[in-house]
Amino acid sequence: MSKLWGGVFAEATSDFVLEFTSSLQVDQRLWATDIRASIAHAEMLGLQGIIPEVDSKKIIEGLIRVSIRIQSSIKNGESPWEPLAEDVHSEIERLLKNEIGELAGKLHTARSRNDQVVTVFKMYCHERLQELSQNIHALKSTLFKIAKEKSDWIMPGLTHTQHAQPVSLSHHLLAYFWMFDRDERKIKSVQEWMMLESPLGSAALAGTSFPIDREFTAKKLGFLSGGQNSMDGVSDRDFALDILHLSTLSMLHLSRISEELILWSTPEFGFLRMSDKVTTGSSIMPQKRNPDVAELIRGRVGRVQSAWVGLSTTLKALPLSYNRDLQEDKEYVFSALDTVTQSVKACTLMLENCEFNREAMESVLAGDGSNATDFADVLVTYGVPFREAHEVSGRVIKTAAELGRPLEALTYQELVKIEPRIPKQIISVLKHKAVLERRTSYGGTAPSQVALQLERAGKILLNPVSVKT
């Protein structure tokens, strides 16, 4: 097995240590990105005259052939890697040596694995975040579609899991649209930050004596410029923590909507029926239709949240510059990105196949008292101080309960017996639809405001946030 080091060592490394220190099982997914970065580095070495241009071209051609061979192996279900290899970066150099001979050794001129690894890691994560962003955009589109189709559906809005005020289903779903819109914008922001500075050229920690062109490789690989400080360049993992933070936020949002879908699908709510595509049965109870997908999304928040804790613990008190502890970064980030990306897809599939029940949503509003606030608000418009109006409204609700009738079914004659100051006009605002229509403040649930929300959301979907690099 070839290694990128070892000249000073008198004894061979034990197989146990090779296995213990290997990161190949985690970082092998970086192979294509590593080759792309290596091609840019080889091109720069030739242009700068650090190695002959003819050698640079042969290295680049060799890397392209290596890429084709790796693709072919993976397609055929074969592993192109040696079992105890240290990492994917050393494996690509080994394969390149098999392809072009000793000339492959020139590729590592003026770079270290320290700057090579973090450069490739950043580039790969940028690509994965783009994939995540596209999936979140698709989830937003699904929420928008349902909200637009059902903009006139009324349902109870809850606080403390108790009926509070009526809202539209559209308004409720758009709340999640804006959550995920924030997630998508955060992704774009992290993408921009992580591609501001290229670590390539930082070498091991102190830069290099070779006349490299860091701006060339930076631009070639999609970065804005070369890094300001070589020690920071090889040791910075802020971007990894940023990824884990935004992944955690997205998982929290996914967990919240999953919990609501679970509740709404219970017989007690009956607001929706989940498709057979996203539910499973019971091994003992034939009638069961379990919302396993939603439950697993809810449960997997812990994976991603703990990844942030794990990596931040690894970085805590880590001295400059590179330390092998940093090898642990990728497992946390890759696992989190895999989890959140799959969870977004699963949530989209659930929503696409939900059958909402309008009658169930509207029927539970009858007599729920969620129009009591508007009762008080109308009294305020007739000069009653709000605290008094609140007290009057409470007495009316109590009386309605004693009579066994909903508030909206009380007659004006019954109301004025409770409080003479109640105006006759109050009867017209107690229907839940009327209550909904009164919520006309910006961002409110009134149909006019929901229509504006849908208009804004539609424009955002047509013009997604772009990444500046």
Whether 97 and 165 map to the same domain: the answer is: no
Distance of CA 433 to the CA centre of its chain: 36
Q: Which of 309, 335, 363 is the last residue of a domain?
A: 363
Distance, CA of 389 to CA of 418 (rounded, Å): 12
Which residues lie below 8 Å from residue 279, measured CB to CB, with a gap of 6+?
289, 290, 291, 292, 293
In a shared domain, residues 69 and 192: no
Residue-wise pLDDT tens digits, 88-108: 999 999 999 999 999 999 999
Instruction: Please report the pLDDT score of residue 420 as a whole number.
Output: 87
Is the pLDDT score of 382 beyond 50? yes
Let me know whether 288 and 303 are in one domain: yes
Q: Are residues 196 and 325 in the same domain?
A: yes
The verdict on 98 and 208 lying in the same domain is no
Q: Per-residue pLDDT tens for 42-69?
A: 999 999 999 999 999 999 999 999 999 9
88-100 and 53-75 are packed helices; what angle lies between their axes, rounded to 10 degrees?
110
What CATH number is attached to the domain comprising 276? 1.20.200.10
Provide the residue range defining the domain that includes 38: 15-109
90 and 194, same domain (yes or no): no
Helix (H) or strand (E) segment spanning residue 158: strand 154-159
Q: What is the pLDDT of residues 268-280, one digit of tens each?
A: 999 999 999 999 8
Residues annotated as catalytic (active site), given as ranges? 160, 282
Torsion of CA 447, 448, 449, 455, to 10 degrees: 100
- Is the pLDDT at 5 greater than 50? The verdict is no
The CB-side HSE value for 358 (13 A sphere, CA atoms) comes to: 10
Joined together, the tokens standing for residue 9 give 């060592």
pLDDT at 425: 87
Return the SS3 of 105: helix
Which tokens hold the place of 282? Answer: 């019971």
Beta-strand relationship, 154-159 and 162-168: antiparallel
Do 28 and 124 belong to one domain?
Answer: no
**CATH code (residue 36):** 1.10.275.10
With vertex at residue 364, the alpha carbon angle to CA 408 and CA 258, rounded to the nearest 5 degrees, is: 140
Query: What is the pLDDT of the chain when averaged over all its residues?
Result: 94
Domain count, the chain: 2
Q: What is the dihedral of CA 123, 127, 132, 136, to 10 degrees?
A: 120
266 in the same domain as 217? yes
Quick one: CA dihedral 227, 231, 233, 239, positive or negative? negative
